């Protein structure tokens, strides 16, 4: 038993876990622990214990904790752990988090804590540090207080960065751990984040002109005030960037993610109703914690057109691929694109056949994409829902900075690449950083959103949510593109897909909700809808057997 025991026991009694019905457990999923906020206080406290263990295991490096439920309604919240380089918690540790959170009593919690420390050979007297932040949800306040109790009980040093976007917290974790080293990621402050982005943005734009106004819908989440703050850091004499921030009301919690935001736009495939969409305006939406981004405009002739994560991915891959070629680095650096099964088939074709870049498909959840993207010198990864980023290897960054340019054009390409490596958040998908990337690319290419949309035509597609009695019976293989069980379900899906042209469909259990998701795409809208319905019925039938 450690000398933390009594403190943990006492604090745990003040931050109890809400027991679940028999046989049910809390699990650390794709998005950490996420549920109704009133279930989360005890969980947040226990996450504090876990974060302290993780920091001690990693020689006192700072671990991050973010309190957010992203695009979910205001009554939800979530707690997520961030590793020292700003990445998602290492997968092995998810089960330790799950074990702590499901301890059945205060005493049992202390036992699990000490058991983990022993098993993982953690010195509980070593120093530990945690940095944390939260989005604008009112429940966040109570949850970080519970978290701080866990940190205090375990004698962990902590910094409360208050209200942040999720990517800002990831930035701060990495900045904290790299401070004073040759790999310093940036100043350890929210202002440091703005300064880094603004400086890199000016360098990446290189005097090119951004045309027209960009309207940014912030889902009434934390992205609104943070984007407004960022904009103050752009030097007006160097870049003229006309941004209209809308849906940035963070004072009324009930409007968070309501009929607005990247998730609304992507799932409803239409512009938010407020403010009333004006034809031709270049627009984009962030989600509630500003780590997803979707572009769109309402065309006076054809109506709503959306540019989602797949589009951002192919735009970035194409632009960076061209720059690498102009910089004379094509033979030195491997560029690749990472997608999930939800990527539109047309985007995959465009990237492999037109851009001639390799594409790897991984299971859903950015931790999988991020990991695979690290295998390239330049790894572009996005989920179709608009979460993603571009990762640059140390070799790539070294080449941008140190390669001797053979011509002014080569120098220009190298300088732009170096600026992009600073502009693009290397820790996690970041809607504000990704938005600046898109604006830089459009300015360089002198493209409108229509020019961008013309690069390829999306296959019509549909995503359906299907309620089932036990989603865990649905097991997948091949990066979630095929069902292994229940027996016979995949055969039926295959038969259904065969009936349609250019069709593809798959079903999987959601990692964040108690349901299955069915995705279908086909040559026409009618066919895509019909196929989605058919497969949804198959899943419904197997789901209630
Ligand atoms: P689930 O619920 O596992 O489908 C959803 C998104 C993921 C990811 C996570 C985490 C879809 C189809 N799924 O996962 O891409 O973003 O939430 O937020 O968009
Ligand atoms: Zn989010």
Q: Are residues 390 and 444 in the same domain?
A: yes
Q: What is the pLDDT of residues 224-233, one digit of tens each?
A: 999 999 999 9
Write down the pLDDT at residue 70.
96
Shared domain for 402 and 414, answered yes or no, is: yes
Q: Which of 29, 166, 365, 389 to mutate to test the pocket of ligand 1 (most atoms within 8 A of CB)?
A: 365
Kindly state if the Cβ of 383 falls inside 6 Å of ligand 1. yes
385 marked ligand binding residue: yes
Interatomic CA distance for residues 388 and 313, integer angstroms: 8
Q: 92 lies in a domain? A: yes
- The SS3 of residue 398 is helix
- The torsion region of residue 441 among left (phi > 0), alpha (psi -120 to 50) and beta comes to alpha
* Domain boundary pick from 306, 340, 370: 306
Question: Mean pLDDT over residues 444-452, rounded?
Answer: 98
319 and 301, same domain (yes or no): no
Q: Is the dihedral of CA 504, 509, 510, 511 positive or negative?
A: negative
Residue 353 has pLDDT above 90, yes or no: yes
Would you say residue 513 has pLDDT above 90?
A: no
Atom of ligand 1 nearest to the CA of 463: 12
Q: Could you tell me if residue 390 is inside a domain? A: yes
What are the helix and strand counts (H, E) for the chain? 18, 19
The CA 191 to ligand 1 mean position distance, Å, reads: 30
470 and 423 together in one domain: no
Please identify every residue annotated as catalytic.
Answer: 70
CA 525 to centroid of ligand 1, rounded, Å: 23
Rounded to two decimals, what is the model's pTM? 0.97
Q: Is residue 212 part of a domain?
A: yes
Q: How confident is the model at residue 1 (pLDDT cuts 50, 70, 90)?
A: low
Judge whether residue 43 has pLDDT over 70: yes
Same domain, 157 and 25: yes
Rounded to the nearest angstrom, the distance between the alpha carbon of 31 and the centre of ligand 1 is 9
Nearest residue (CA) to ligand 1, atom 19: 385
Q: At 246, which helix (H) or strand (E)?
A: strand 243-246
Summarised one tens digit per residue, pLDDT across range 104-117 is 999 999 999 999 99
Asked if residue 416 has its Cβ within 6 Å of ligand 1, the reply is no
Q: Best mutation site among 339, 368, 385, 521 for ligand 1, i.e. most ligand atoms within 8 A of its Cβ? A: 385
Question: Do residue 466 and residue 434 come from a single domain?
Answer: no
Q: Max Cα separation, the chain? A: 71
> In the 8-state DSSP scheme, what is residue 350?
I
**Is ligand 1 within 6 A of the CB of residue 225?**
no
Check: CB of residue 422 under 8 Å from CB of residue 437.
no
Instruction: Specify whether 104 is located in the same domain as 200.
Output: no
Q: What is the DSSP letter of 345?
A: H
Q: How many domains does the chain have?
A: 4
Cα-to-chain-centroid distance, residue 512:
14
Indicate whether 180 belongs to any domain: no
Are 222 and 76 members of one domain? no
Average pLDDT, integer, range 181-193: 97
Distance CA 505, CA 462 (A): 9
Mutate to test the pocket of ligand 1, among 66, 338, 364, 366 (most ligand atoms within 8 A of CB): 364
Query: Which residue's CA is minimally distant from atom 11 of ligand 1?
Result: 385
Q: Does any domain span residue 111?
A: yes
Locate 322 and state its tokens: 């061209």
- Residue 47, SS3? helix
**Which phi-psi region, left, alpha or beta, contains residue 257 (left: φ > 0; alpha: ψ -120 to 50)?**
left
For the cut 80, the answer to whether the pLDDT of residue 387 exceeds it is yes
Task: Look up residue 67 and give its two tokens.
Answer: 């309190």
- Looking at all shown ligands, the one closest to residue 428's CA atom is 2
pLDDT band of residue 433 (cuts 50, 70, 90) is very high
Q: Does the structure show a pLDDT above 80 at 301? A: yes
Residues 18 and 144 in one domain: yes
Is residue 447 located within the same domain as residue 481? no
For 290-342, give the DSSP string. Answer: S--EEEEEEETTTEEEEE-HHHHHHHHHHHHHHHHHHTT-TTT--EEEEEETT
Number of the ligand closest to the Cα of 341: 1
471 DSSP 8-state letter: G
- pLDDT (0 to 100) of residue 405: 97
Q: Looking at ligand 1, which atom is closest to the CA of residue 509?
A: 3
Alpha carbons 309 and 134: distance in angstroms, whole number: 25
Domain boundary among 119, 143, 163: 163
Do the beta carbons of residue 357 and residue 317 sit within 8 Å? yes
Q: Is the pLDDT of residue 545 over 80?
A: no
How many whole angstroms from 447 Cα to the centroid of ligand 2? 28
Residue nearest to atom 12 of ligand 1 (CA): 342
Q: 518 with 530: CB under 8 angstroms?
A: no
Residue 337 pairs in a beta bridge with: 359, 380
Q: In this structure, what DSSP letter does residue 277 have?
A: P
The runs of H, that is alpha helices, within 352-447 are 366-373, 394-402, 408-423, 431-445
Are 329 and 433 found together in one domain? Answer: yes
With a cut of 80, say whether residue 243 has pLDDT above it: yes
In a domain, 145, yes or no: yes
23 Cα–ligand 1 center, Å:
25
Q: In terms of C-beta density within 10 A (0-12 exposed, 13-18 middle, 19 or more buried), how is residue 359 classed?
A: buried
Minimum CA distance residue for ligand 1 atom 16: 365
- Indicate whether residue 289 lines ligand 1 (CB < 6 A): no
Residue-wise pLDDT tens digits, 55-94: 999 999 999 999 999 999 999 999 999 999 999 999 999 9
pLDDT mean across residues, the chain: 97
Name the residue of 30, 428, 518 to mutate for ligand 1: max ligand atoms within 8 A of Cβ.
30
Does a structural domain hold residue 99?
A: yes
Tokens of 357: 């870049």
Q: Among all ligands shown, which has an atom nearest to the Cα of 71?
A: 2
- pLDDT value at 20 more than 80: yes
Angle made by CA atoms 80, 83, 84, in degrees to the nearest 5: 140
Q: How confident is the model at residue 514 (pLDDT cuts 50, 70, 90)?
A: confident
Residue where one domain finishes, among candidates 306, 334, 356: 306
Are residue 465 and residue 337 in the same domain, yes or no?
A: no
Instruction: Please work out whether the CB of residue 512 comes within 6 Å of at least one atom of ligand 1.
Output: yes
The answer to whether 289 is a known ligand-binding residue is yes
Q: How confident is the model at residue 3 (pLDDT cuts 50, 70, 90)?
A: confident
Helix axes 223-231, 431-445, angle to 10 degrees: 50
**Token pair for 210:** 């951004």
> Which ligand is closest in space to the CA of residue 430?
2
Residue 485: give the domain boundaries.
461-543
- What CATH number does residue 284 fall under? 3.40.120.10
What band does 319 get if pLDDT is binned at 50, 70 and 90? very high
Percent of the chain with pLDDT over 90: 97
Span from the CA of 228 to the centroid of ligand 1 (angstroms): 28
Residue 105 annotated as binding site: no
* Cβ of 513 below 6 Å from ligand 1: yes
Q: Is the pLDDT of residue 466 over 80?
A: yes
Model pLDDT, residue 30: 85
Residue 352 is assigned to a structural domain of this protein? yes
């Amino acid at each position: 038993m450690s000398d933390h025991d009594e403190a943990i026991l006492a604090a745990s009694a003040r931050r109890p876990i809400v027991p679940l019905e028999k046989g049910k457990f809390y699990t650390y999923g794709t998005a950490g622990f996420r549920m109704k906020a009133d279930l989360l206080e005890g969980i947040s406290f226990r996450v504090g214990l876990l974060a302290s263990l993780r920091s001690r295991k990693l020689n006192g490096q700072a671990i991050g904790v973010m309190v957010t439920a992203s695009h979910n309604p205001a009554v939800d919240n979530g707690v997520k752990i961030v590793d020292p380089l700003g990445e998602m918690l290492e997968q092995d540790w998810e089960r330790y988090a799950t074990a702590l959170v499901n301890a059945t009593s205060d005493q049992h919690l202390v036992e699990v804590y000490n058991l983990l420390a022993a098993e993982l050979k953690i010195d509980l007297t070593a120093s530990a540090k945690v940095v944390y932040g939260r989005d604008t949800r009112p429940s966040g306040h109570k949850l970080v207080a519970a978290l701080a109790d866990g940190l205090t009980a375990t004698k962990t040093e902590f910094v409360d960065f208050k209200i942040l976007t999720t990517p800002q917290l990831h930035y701060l974790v990495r900045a904290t751990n790299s401070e004073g080293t040759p790999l310093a990621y940036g100043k350890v402050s929210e202002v440091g984040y703005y300064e880094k982005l603004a400086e890199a943005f000016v360098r990446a734009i290189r005097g090119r002109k951004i045309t027209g106004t960009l309207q940014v819908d912030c889902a009434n989440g934390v992205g609104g005030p943070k984007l407004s703050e960022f904009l103050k850091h752009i030097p007006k004499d160097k870049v003229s960037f006309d941004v209209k921030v809308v849906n940035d009301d963070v004072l009324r919690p009930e409007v968070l993610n309501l009929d607005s935001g990247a998730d609304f736009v992507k799932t409803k495939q239409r512009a938010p109703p407020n403010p009333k969409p004006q034809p031709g305006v270049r627009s984009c939406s962030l989600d509630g914690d500003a780590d997803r981004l979707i572009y769109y405009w309402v065309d006076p002739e054809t109506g709503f057109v959306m540019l989602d994560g797949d589009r951002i991915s192919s735009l970035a891959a194409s632009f960076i691929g061209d720059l690498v070629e102009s910089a004379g680095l094509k033979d030195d650096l491997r560029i690749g694109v990472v997608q999930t099964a939800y990527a539109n088939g047309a985007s995959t074709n465009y990237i492999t056949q037109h851009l001639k870049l390799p594409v790897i498909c991984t299971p859903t959840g950015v931790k999988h994409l991020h990991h695979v993207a690290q295998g390239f010198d330049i790894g572009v990864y996005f989920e179709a829902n608009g979460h993603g980023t571009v990762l640059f290897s140390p070799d790539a960054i070294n080449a941008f900075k140190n390669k001797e340019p053979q011509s002014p054009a080569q120098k220009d390409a190298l300088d732009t690449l170096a600026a992009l490596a600073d502009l693009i958040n290397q820790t996690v998908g970041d809607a504000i950083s990704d938005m600046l990337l898109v604006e830089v690319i459009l300015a360089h290419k002198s493209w409108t959103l229509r020019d961008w949309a013309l690069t390829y035509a999306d296959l019509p597609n549909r995503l359906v949510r299907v309620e089932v009695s036990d989603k865990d019976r649905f097991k997948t293989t091949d990066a979630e593109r095929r069902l292994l069980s229940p027996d016979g379900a995949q055969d039926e899906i295959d038969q259904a897909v065969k009936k349609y042209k250019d069709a593809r469909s798959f079903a999987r259990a959601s990692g964040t909700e108690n349901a299955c998701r069915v995705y279908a795409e086909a040559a026409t809208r009618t066919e895509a809808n019909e196929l989605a319905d058919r497969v949804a019925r198959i899943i419904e039938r197997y789901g209630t057997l």
